[in-house]
Amino acid sequence: MTLRSLVADDVRHNRTLAVHWLKELGHETFEAADGGEAWHIAKDKPLDLIVTDIEMPGRSGLDFLQQLRGHEISTIADVPVVVMSSLQDALLEKLALGFGATIVVRKPLSKLDFQKAVQRAMASPPSEGVSPEANSDHPSDDPGVGPISPTLRRIADRARRGL
């Protein structure tokens, strides 16, 4: 059985990289450039995994994740979600997991960390996030990482308000 995955990222290079690495793991892939496009694919195609960026134009990854987790059909709402982000916020993992992410990976992506995160997310029971420290050699309490950034705060506030 072929696994079906969706990759949502507005940066084509990141999308292409994630798609390539998923195909190496045997996944059939779909691509979206923003959360709105990702939502249309997710509700129309049965998926085994979703990989999404947080910061995208239009509907953000958090908006998409919130809409996904709030869906009444469990085959849509319970799909494991790997959130990836280049935002360097100390609270990124906690925030993404709070919105329903299964696991969080930081950009720039490394093939090993990404594929390990995908495998861990696929093995995780629905609605149970995986500790972000379990997927990476990069601890989330980096000394260079400060409190939540204005960018992440804006994205999170907008998603919470459903805008």
**What is the distance between the alpha carbons of residues 104 and 90, in angstroms, rounded to a whole number?**
12
Specify the CATH number for the domain of residue 71: 3.40.50.2300
- How many CB atoms are located within 10 Å of the residue 26 CB? 10
Helix (H), strand (E) counts: the chain: 7, 5
What pLDDT was estimated at residue 92?
Answer: 83
Read off the pLDDT of each residue in 110-120 and give the average, rounded to a whole number. Answer: 95
- pLDDT-based confidence at residue 156 (cuts at 50, 70, 90): confident
Residue 40: is its pLDDT beyond 60? yes
Q: 36, 37, 43, 44: which is closest to 63 by C-alpha? A: 36
Read off the pLDDT of each residue in 71-81 and give the average, rounded to a whole number. Answer: 94
> How many folded domains does the chain comprise?
1
Output the pTM of the full model: 0.82
Domain that holds residue 125: 3-161
Decide which of 44 and 147 is more confident: 44
Read off the pLDDT of each residue in 90-112 and give the average, rounded to a whole number. Answer: 90
